[in-house]
A and B are shown apart, each in its own frame.
Chain A
Amino acid sequence: MTAVAESAGRRVGTGRRASPFPVIGWIGLVVVATFVGLALAAPWLTSYRTTELAGRPLQAPSGAHLLGTNGVGQDVFTQLLHGARVSLFVAVLAGGGTLLIGAAVGMVAGWAGGATDAVLMRIVDLVLVVPKVPLLIVIGTYAGPSLAVISLIIALTGWPPTARIVRSQVLSLRRRAHIKAAVGFGATSGQVLRRHILPEVGLILAAGLVGAAGRAIAFEAGLAFLGLGDPARASWGYILRDAIGFRGLFFTDAWKWWLVPPVAAISLLLLGVTFVGVGLEQRINPRLSRHTS
């Protein structure tokens, strides 16, 4: 990541030759936009509610139930549509929160340097080395099952990678002439960070946001899969949990319409998000086809 950030930093100064947004990024955007469209249109695409017992249990797909029914007779298609809403909501809230904390810490650390930087980076190391999933589980069980709370704890534990990228970017920017000039003319740190640094790290922040949103989607569904979600909302993780926990699922054909759809949905959405991220990275640094985290 540092490598990307640094080489991208070098490019910024050489005048931004706008390299076009690559095809893979467009594919990702189309996938994500499709999910957004389906999630927004959910009330018009289905007449059932997620918890409604809409038919007999384990019905195969039909005109009335596009993806059949689950073990208690709820409509799987309805749950899938509303699950998309949950995932996208968390992506925006937790992804945005992660970016906000990460960018703030990264900018302060990179700009202030010295002891502030050292302390902040030790905190980053500390948070990074603690296994995240067990931590999320412990906090999640205590904090309760609201989506906003889950998004908050995902953001609170997920910001260090973003902070690192932003910091290295700021470190390379602060040596630039125009930044030094701004400081020389008496700009305060806040002004420099807002007026000069923030616009320069825009693309990096966009890539950071996409990465954070993807991780947030995966974590929310994972936590719901483990039983830590908002039971009032149909998360994809919940559908997965219900299906896998259903005794004798594989003695019937029900797995085809009950287990496959949530797995396919989350995989597709995350692939879409990843492709957008890859597209952004190639845009930032065309020489690099893919970087490591």
Chain B
Amino acid sequence: MVNRGERRYLRAALRSVGLYALTLVAVVVVVFSLPRAMPGDPLAALNDPDNSVYINDQAVRAKVEAYYGLDKPLPQQFGHYVGRLLRGDLGFSIERKRPVSSLLRSHLPWTLLLMGVSILLASLLSFMAGVAATWRRGRVSDRSLLTGMTVAQAIPEYALAAVLLIAFAVVLPIFPLAGARTPFADHGPVAGVLDVAKHLVLPAGALTLSLLGTKFLFVRNTMVSALGADYMVLARAKGLPDRMLKYRHAGRNALLPFLTVVGIQVGYAVGGAVFVESVFAYPGMGSLILEAVEARDYPVLEATFLVLALVVLAVNLALELVYARIDPRVGAE
């Protein structure tokens, strides 16, 4: 027995799942066709005697080609490719001579840590700043927040990261220059966590700064339009305290659309993390990508794109499902 609200929710949920599944298929098709659409051969590097990864032995080369199924027609190759992906086989790094999945296992957690901390911090800070700025609309504190956020948003992540690096690791050497841990240090568990946290401050700071602007401006805009609503006038007339008005009435209504913005920004944060990690030599996906670009290690690049896309799609889908659950209007039309 499902009631009407439940049915609506299911329909909205199915629609989201369908859309994201379609997107995932599109991503896989792009990754599959890119090497095949380009001039030459996906394994051209292996056949090029000038390339460092050239395989001398003709028999081994044939074996590699058969492994990737390049001697078969395209649809069959695609089936083969999808089959491999479904088994969790993301290919083999030509440069590092290791399965890509094992590389990802050591790099992805760092990126998730960096992104998770930054997104959480940026969401909290921007929401509170947005609410506060709306309340002091037009005053100095609002205007300076607005200017600051606009500036932070204009400057790209790698430049923000470089500025933080110069300011707090070189001029004032408070934080470490690079990496995620002190190499070869044998810390106890507590000191170990502190060490990781200390290395995380600057990269997470840069990424948080770059994520703040959009969210802040969004909250401020939503709140400004919420303030004029009838229910706000009523709440004020009832003599409710400011805190209540701010967070219970205005803030709560800004919260739902805010969730959507947080979701959209996860994709943006992935890109920011790649840049920030490259500046700080942070051992996440960014560093992996940096080395893979240098070596033109295509399997690694394809896998990083696939996995990062999967992370972003999953987070967005989850948020959309939560959204559909909380917001009674979803699927109501």
Interface residues of B in 81-124 (CB under 8 A from A): none
Q: Cβ of A270 and Cβ of B155 under 8 Å apart? A: yes
Contact B278 A226 (CB under 8 A): yes
A278 → chain B, closest Cβ, in Å? 7
Contact of A260 among B150, B158, B166 (CB under 8 A): B166
A142, B158: Cα distance in complex, Å: 23
What residues on A are CB-neighbors of B217 within 8 Å? 290-292
**Within 8 Å CB of B221, what residues of A?**
3, 288, 291-292
For B2-16 the 0/1 string (1 means CB < 8 A from A) is 000000000000000
A24 → chain B closest CB, angstroms: 9
Known: A129-B316, A143-B38, A292-B217. Contact between A227 and B293, CB under 8 A?
yes
| B residues less than 8 Å from A139 (CB atoms) | 34
Asked if A95 is at the interface of the complex by the 8 Å CB criterion, the answer is no
Of the listed stretches A59-67, A68-76, A120-128, name the one at the interface; the rest are far from the partner chain.
Answer: A120-128
* B residues less than 8 Å from A134 (CB atoms): 270-271, 274, 289, 304-305, 308-309
A19 touches B (CB below 8 Å): no
Please tell me if the beta carbons of B163 and A263 are within 8 angstroms of each other in the complex: yes
Q: A126-B22, A255-B170, A292-B218 are in contact. Are A225 and B301 (CB under 8 A)?
A: no
Pick the contact of A138: B146, B157, B279, B302 (CB < 8 A).
Answer: B302
Residue B162 at the chain A interface, CB threshold 8 Å: yes
Known: A271-B151, A290-B146, A292-B221. A138 touches B31 (CB 8 A): yes
A137 at the B interface (CB under 8 A): yes
A141 within 8 A of partner (CB): yes
- Contact assessment for B23 and A126 in the assembled complex, using a CB-CB cutoff below 8 Å: yes
Is B49 part of the binding interface, using a Cβ–Cβ cutoff of 8 Å?
A: no
Q: Which residues from chain B contact A246 at a C-beta distance below 8 Å?
A: none
Is B177 at the interface (CB under 8 A from chain A)?
yes
Choice from B158, B166, B218, B298 contacting A240 with Cβ under 8 Å: B158
CA distance A133 to B26 in the complex (A): 17
Whether A263 contacts B309 by the Cβ 8 Å rule is no
Are B146 and A289 neighbours in the complex by a CB distance under 8 Å? yes
We find that the number of chain A residues with CB closer than 8 angstroms to chain B is: 47
Q: Is the CB of A266 within 8 A of B22?
A: no
Instruction: Tell me the complex Cα distance, A146–B197, Å.
Output: 40
CA distance A128 to B302 in the complex (A): 19
Q: Does A150 contact B (CB under 8 A)?
A: no
Query: What mask results when residues 212 to 254 of chain A are scored 1 for a CB within 8 Å of chain B, else 0?
Result: 0010001001100111100000000100100010000010000
A267 within 8 A of B: yes
Cβ B275 vs Cβ A222 within 8 A: yes
Among the interface residues A131, A240, A267, which one has the most CB atoms of the partner chain B within 10 A? A131
Enumerate chain B residues within 8 angstroms of A221, measured Cβ to Cβ: 156, 158
- A266-B309 contact, Cβ under 8 Å, with A134-B270, A259-B166: no
Contact string, B267-282, partner A, CB cutoff 8 A, digits 1/0? 1101110110011000
CA distance A142 to B26 in the complex (A): 18
State whether B313 touches A129 (Cβ < 8 A).
Answer: yes
CB of A216 to closest CB in B, whole Å: 11
CA distance A122 to B155 in the complex (A): 30
A49 at the interface (CB under 8 A from B): no
Q: Which of A197-221 contact B (CB under 8 A)?
A: 214, 218, 221
- Confirm or deny: A293 has a beta carbon within 8 angstroms of a beta carbon on chain B: yes
Is there an interface contact between B275 and A228, defined as CB atoms closer than 8 Å? no
**Distance of B94 from chain A, by nearest CB (Å):** 13
Closest residue on chain B to residue A219 by CB atoms: B156
Q: Tell whether A42 is near chain B: CB-to-CB under 8 Å.
A: no
Chain A 262-292: CB-based contact to B (< 8 A → 1; otherwise 0): 0100110011011000100000000011111
Shortest CB-to-CB span from A70 to chain B, Å, is 16
B312 is an interface residue with CB less than 8 A from chain A: yes
Query: 8 Å CB contacts to A: which residues of B227-276?
Result: 261, 264, 267-268, 270-272, 274-275
B132 at the interface (CB under 8 A from A): no
A266 close to B156 (CB less than 8 A): yes
The A-contacting residues of B in range 291-307, CB under 8 angstroms, are 293-294, 296, 298, 301-302, 304-305
- Is A130 an interface position by the 8 A CB rule? yes
B27 touches A (CB below 8 Å): yes
A141–B23 CB distance below 8 A: no
Within the complex, the shortest CB–CB distance from A49 to chain B, in Å, comes to: 25
Can you report 19 residue pairs joining A to B where beta carbons are below 8 Å apart?
A126-B23, A126-B26, A129-B20, A129-B313, A130-B23, A131-B312, A133-B271, A133-B275, A134-B270, A134-B304, A137-B289, A138-B31, A218-B156, A221-B158, A226-B274, A227-B290, A259-B162, A267-B163, A292-B218
Interface residues of B (CB under 8 A from A): 19-20, 22-23, 26-27, 30-31, 34-35, 38, 146, 150-151, 153-159, 162-163, 166, 169-170, 177, 214, 217-218, 221, 225, 261, 264, 267-268, 270-272, 274-275, 278-279, 289-290, 293-294, 296, 298, 301-302, 304-305, 308-309, 312-313, 316
Q: Which 8 pairs of residues, A with B, have the shortest CB-CB distance?
A: A133-B271, A274-B154, A292-B218, A218-B156, A134-B305, A131-B270, A131-B267, A292-B217
Given contacts A134-B308, A226-B278, list 6 more A-B pairs with CB under 8 A: A122-B19, A126-B19, A135-B305, A221-B156, A227-B293, A263-B163
